[in-house]
Amino acid sequence: MRRLGVNIDHIATLRNARGEKHPDLLKAAKLITSYGADSITLHLREDRRHIKDSDVAKICKQKKISVNLEMAANDEILKIALKNKPKYVCIVPEKRNEITTEGGLNLIKNKNKIKKIINKLKRNKIRTSLFINPSIKDINLSKTLETECIELHTGKLSNLIKSKKKFLKEFNKIKRCSTLANNLGLEVHAGHGMDYKTTKILSKIKVIKEFNIGHFIIGESIFLGLKKIIKKFRILSKR
Ligand code: PXP
């Protein structure tokens, strides 16, 4: 069965807005896992804008939670990864001023750095994935770097679908890249900007083994949860 990873960075953003403990990240990670998610993704950014070091430490300690740590190819974050030993690491590009991860890694520019990180993670039995754009060149380069997995950036496809534009060309590109990667022995993951519709469409590519979804799941949970909570407050406030 295809795996689902849930990114909880946006829960951290909400918590940090008040500088308090609610909503608690560890509680969220435990619940999401108990509801059937296969892994919990945390992106420890260099600027710590959402996930904090203490979140990584607390959540990685939980035996029942499979943590997928997203990190830039950065020595300081690598040290934190090796200390906390998440089950998986996904290396992503990172720009200080971006709102979210805008594109895939520049594998040519960062080849040596990424290779070193993959080797260190492997020695520590941490599965590595590279977040890349759907390009044949990057699939072949990923293979030479000996990563176990790749995650294809689906942001462009998601935007085309959401804005009701023609998306078949981008879909076929992702399909071709997924097939090539799978044939080369790389495990294929996909993520970014995915919602119900994008997920339904991408699910047609059978060789994709894992979806990583964040913003939409956390946002949509508001709509699915509001009714219960408003009812609860109506009852409480009558007392
Ligand atoms: N996969 C990777 C590698 C990401 O960097 C992100 C965004 O943090 C996601 C998946 C999830 O994207 P979204 O929040 O748009 O679902």
For each of the domains in the chain, give its residue range(s) and CATH number, in order of start: 3-237 (3.20.20.70)
Indicate which residue of 153, 187, 192, 210 is catalytic.
192
* Phi, psi (degrees; rounded to nearest 5) at 42: -130, 130
Does the CB atom of residue 45 touch ligand 1 within 6 A?
A: no
Contact 190, 208 (CB under 8 A): yes
User: Given this model, what pLDDT does residue 234 score?
Assistant: 96
Annotated catalytic residue within 50, 70, 187, 210: 70
Half-sphere exposure of residue 87: CA atoms within 13 angstroms, side-chain side: 14
- Ordered DSSP codes for 29-57: HHHHHHTT-SEEEEE--TT-SSS-HHHHH
7 lines ligand 1 (CB under 6 A): yes
pTM over 0.85: yes
Report whether 129 contacts 117 (CB < 8 A).
no
Which residues are 152's β-sheet partners? 132, 190
Q: Is 192 a residue of the active site?
A: yes
Q: CA torsion 113→59→196→204, rounded to 10°?
A: 50
| Nearest residue (CA) to ligand 1, atom 6 | 192
State the average pLDDT over residues 168-180: 98
- Across the chain, mean pLDDT equals 96
Find out whether the beta carbon of 92 lies less than 6 Å from any atom of ligand 1. yes
Contact 52, 9 (CB under 8 A): no
Q: How far apart are CA 37 and CA 64, in angstroms?
A: 11
At 99 the pLDDT is 79
Rg of the chain over all Cα atoms, to the nearest angstrom: 18
- Tell me the pLDDT tens digit for each residue of 129-151: 999 999 999 999 999 999 999 99
More confident site: 96 or 28: 28
- Ligand 1 and 90: CB distance under 6 A: yes
pLDDT at residue 101, rounded to an integer: 77
Q: Work out which ligand 1 atom sits closest to the CA atom of 194.
A: 16
pLDDT computed for residue 100 by the predictor: 77
146 annotated active-site: no
pLDDT at 204 over 80: yes
Residue 94 has pLDDT above 90, yes or no: no
- 118 SS3 class: helix
**What's the DSSP call for residue 204?**
T
The pLDDT, as a whole number, for residue 199 is 98
Ligand 1 proximity of 43 Cβ (cutoff 6 Å): yes
The atom of ligand 1 lying closest to the CA of 92 is 3
Strand runs (DSSP E) across 34-170, as ranges? 39-43, 67-71, 88-91, 127-132, 149-153
